[in-house]
Amino acid sequence: MKKLGSSLLALSLLAGGAPLVGAEEVATTEDMTQVIDSKFVKDVHELTLEASKLELKVGETVTLFASALKTGSSVNHSWTVNGIPVSAKSFALNTETGYYESTLEYTAQTAGEYVFEFNIDMQAGKSHIAWEGSESQVVEFIEPTPSQTNENSNGKKLGHIENGGKAEPKNK
């Protein structure tokens, strides 16, 4: 067995895995995904992404909210819309819950399906442990329906009776 360092071996054993025998091998624990360049890369725990609505009209604004359990002290995050990077409205650590939280607001100018993706990666200080996560949500923007008028050709409101009259059914 090759020795990768006591901290990596100890981490693997503490996480319930088998000792690693090479820097390119995959750890055997359930949540370990891979070892890259002697660094553990794990899935981010409890990563969620929610949209305020899944169908909106063109010109309306959707708000997306992402959260991820803080598992590292160094963090990077990004948002994309249909693969194009966009800026978050907010990103912060909620110290009461221990979650990183991010908000994105987006207003589509054309109809269609939009794929919103939130990516986050964290690292625990100078250790060899990193977490990566990604979630996506599809939101559809549809063309607004033409507004219906409630006026006749003379500009009078339909169903309006002047002089305080009361409309009654025709078959009375």
Average pLDDT, the chain: 74
For 44-122+133-142, CATH gives 2.60.40.10
CA-CA distance, 76 to 127, in Å (whole number)?
A: 16
Q: Where are the domains of the chain?
A: 1-43, 44-122+133-142
Q: Which residues contact 95 (CB under 8 A, 6 or more apart)?
A: none
Question: Is residue 133 within 8 Å of residue 121, measured between CB atoms?
Answer: yes
Q: Is 75 helix (H, G, I), strand (E, B) or coil?
A: strand
> What pLDDT sits at residue 46?
84
Three-class secondary structure of residue 102 per DSSP: strand
Please name the helix (run of DSSP H) or strand (run of DSSP E) that holds residue 12, with its range, or none. helix 6-14
**What are the pLDDT digits (tens) for 78-132?**
999 999 999 999 999 999 999 999 999 999 999 999 999 999 998 887 777 888 8
> Which pTM does this prediction carry?
0.63
